[in-house]
Amino acid sequence: MKIAFIINQTHKEKASFTTTLLALKALQRGHSIYYIGLADFVYLDQDQVGAHARAVHHIDDISDTEQLIDTLRSTTKERVFLHELDILWLRYDPVS
């Protein structure tokens, strides 16, 4: 499955956050993960919404949340269309 985590800002994520652990566990189960910040959404036309996402599609050498965060930070954002994702998981923290 393609699981997107909607968060405040991708560059502020930390290895100790619950979202990072959830993403790691999803990767370990063979899913692709996408991190999408609130400012990353793109409205393409009346029928399509996309986003610029940081994606990880495999778990090569990612065994803990620190490695996952490092991988995400070094990954270039790619445009995805929301209708192509299986899950949009809202992890927005209003106090941040």
What number does CATH give the domain 2-90?
3.40.50.20
Q: What is the pTM of this model?
A: 0.90
Give the tens place of pLDDT for each residue, 30-71: 999 999 999 999 998 888 999 999 999 987 789 999 999 999
From the list 14, 93, 11, the residue with the least C-alpha distance to 52 is: 11
pLDDT of residue 92: 75
- Answer whether residue 7 shows pLDDT above 80: yes
pLDDT of residue 96: 53
Q: Which residue has the higher pLDDT, 17 or 45?
A: 17
**Chain-centroid distance, C-alpha 6:** 7
From the list 25, 30, 78, 87, the residue with the least C-alpha distance to 54 is: 78
Q: Residue 70 to residues 7, 51, 81: CA-CA distances in angstroms?
A: 17, 21, 25
